Amino acid sequence: MFSRILVANRGEIALRVIRACHDLGIEAVAVFSEADRGAPWLDVADRAICIGPALSAESYLKIPRIIAAAEVTGSQAIHPGYGFLSENSKFAEQCRASGIEFIGPPVTAMDALGNKDKSKTVAKAAKVPTVPGSDGLVETEEQARKFAHAVGYPVLIKASAGGGGRGMRVARDDDSLASGYSQARAEAEAAFKDSSVFLEKYLDRPRHVEVQLIGDQKGNVVHLFERDCSLQRRHQKLVEESPSPNLPDKVRRAMCDAAVRLAQKAGYYNAGTCEFLVDQQNNFYFIEVNARVQVEHPVTELVTGVDIIREQIRVAAGEKLSFAQKDVQQTGCAIEVRINAEDPAHDFRPSAGVVKVWRPPGGPGVRLDTHVCAGYRVPSNYDSMVAKLLVHRPTRAEAFATMRRCLREFRVEGIHTTIPILQTIFDNEAFIAGKVDTTFIERELMPKKG
């Protein structure tokens, strides 16, 4: 087992990983940019190293600095968290070439699954249903139009390298296809330095359901059941829960098996997520793999009792998974909400600044993953998430009651947060009945423009 791990991330996930290291008796080295100097999670680490200026490209994304930080501190492994370098196979390769273990999947699997159109090829080979789409990349607008006419509008133009909802455009006719095609390409080029796009049939009001996977280097891959992440704003998740409400057990089982099959086909190990869309007839379609730990992993930790970060570290060190598929059970209902420093009353504009009051909820069945405390300055340079609030209760109705109580209790002053919109969501009848889809928030809860 490793004795020292470098955590190549910031905020709540850095703290989460540091804690997992300490639980395993491993030292944790934190890295920070100048914008994060003095940040609270750095105190919890055994050592903290400045890796550059506020700009991510010069610090959290700067591969040579991170590897050098691991080398000078004698760290044997690097945990990338999510975002930043977590899905960068070149980073993984360079870590391993430098004799430092990258806590994540093998490079071959990252390459096979890291981009959306390639991963669909693997899915098809593993007999996992995919959304009808262009076979491979679409190189011209003419080709895009041909596909759209063949499958029928609406279609979705998707960046192959896409993430975080970027590089994605819905087209409902030839005109919006023409503009959407060039917009998606330009956005993808700007965000990912890769303008390649492909097309998919745009499903009508689907649900987003994803399967958590974990595998070891001895060929064992197990699933930890599903999470429903249908509540999204602009394709960004706001609320996640497990089990997925109203999902027939048969479909759940088939989906979990499909995810395991896909991972095995790709020779996958460590943690990953297989994302699916589920249509109104409960047909499911693979959309992508996230080859890393996800923001919403604690939802699964609560219902299964598996400490995913701990398992990630263990399997990266070459150990066998500490459980088999038959040992994994889904107990009760867990829900997570993302609390972001944003102002929902003003189109969710970011709300950086000093947190003056921070009084989080607590009590039975409540978990809060956060790096924030009173006096902390939320920098404007990074992701706006300030906390993940989770509840775990025997039933969904009880989980909702506890979540409502927690959102009422939570007091934050000094910055705006998404707590008010979350309160509205948890009072919504359709959501209470589990009848939501990925377009729900924009359709039902957003003030209509004009």
Q: Which residues bind ligand ADP (CB under 6 A)?
A: 131, 156, 162-165, 168, 200, 202-203, 206, 208, 232, 235, 275, 277, 287-288, 438
CA–CA distance, 290 with 163 (Å, rounded to integer): 9
CA–CA distance, 295 with 81 (Å, rounded to integer): 9
Residue closer to ligand ADP (CB basis): 105 or 365: 105
CA–CA distance, 123 with 309 (Å, rounded to integer): 26
CB of 318 to ligand ADP, least distance (A): 30
Residue closer to ligand ADP (CB basis): 16 or 292: 292
Question: Measured at CB, which residue is nearest to ligand ADP?
Answer: 438
* Helix (H/G/I), strand (E/B), else coil: 427: coil
CA–CA distance, 391 with 399 (Å, rounded to integer): 6
In 10 A of CB 135, how many CB atoms?
Answer: 11
Under 8 Å between Cβ of 376 and 354: yes
In 10 A of CB 102, how many CB atoms?
Answer: 26
Residue among 243, 220, 396 at smallest CA distance from 330? 243
CB of 438 to ligand ADP, least distance (A): 3
CA distances from 247 to 7, 226, 354, 380, 426 (A): 37, 10, 42, 39, 20
Q: What H or E segment, with its residue span, contains residue 402?
A: helix 396-409
Q: Which of the following is catalytic: 65, 292, 314, 393?
A: 292
Under 8 Å between Cβ of 390 and 58: no
Residue closer to ligand ADP (CB basis): 162 or 243: 162
Q: What is the dihedral of CA 309, 310, 315, 318, to 10 degrees?
A: 140
Query: Which residues in 64-178 belong to E strands, given as ranges?
Result: 77-79, 101-102, 155-159, 168-171
CB of 222 to ligand ADP, least distance (A): 23
* Helix (H/G/I), strand (E/B), else coil: 72: helix
Residue closer to ligand ADP (CB basis): 156 or 403: 156
CA–CA distance, 185 with 159 (Å, rounded to integer): 7
CA–CA distance, 432 with 401 (Å, rounded to integer): 10
Residue closer to ligand ADP (CB basis): 89 or 351: 89
Annotated active-site residue 16? The verdict is: no
CB of 283 to ligand ADP, least distance (A): 12
CB of 208 to ligand ADP, least distance (A): 4
CB of 316 to ligand ADP, least distance (A): 24
Output the six-digit token pair for 212. Answer: 């958590």
- Catalogue the active-site residues: 292
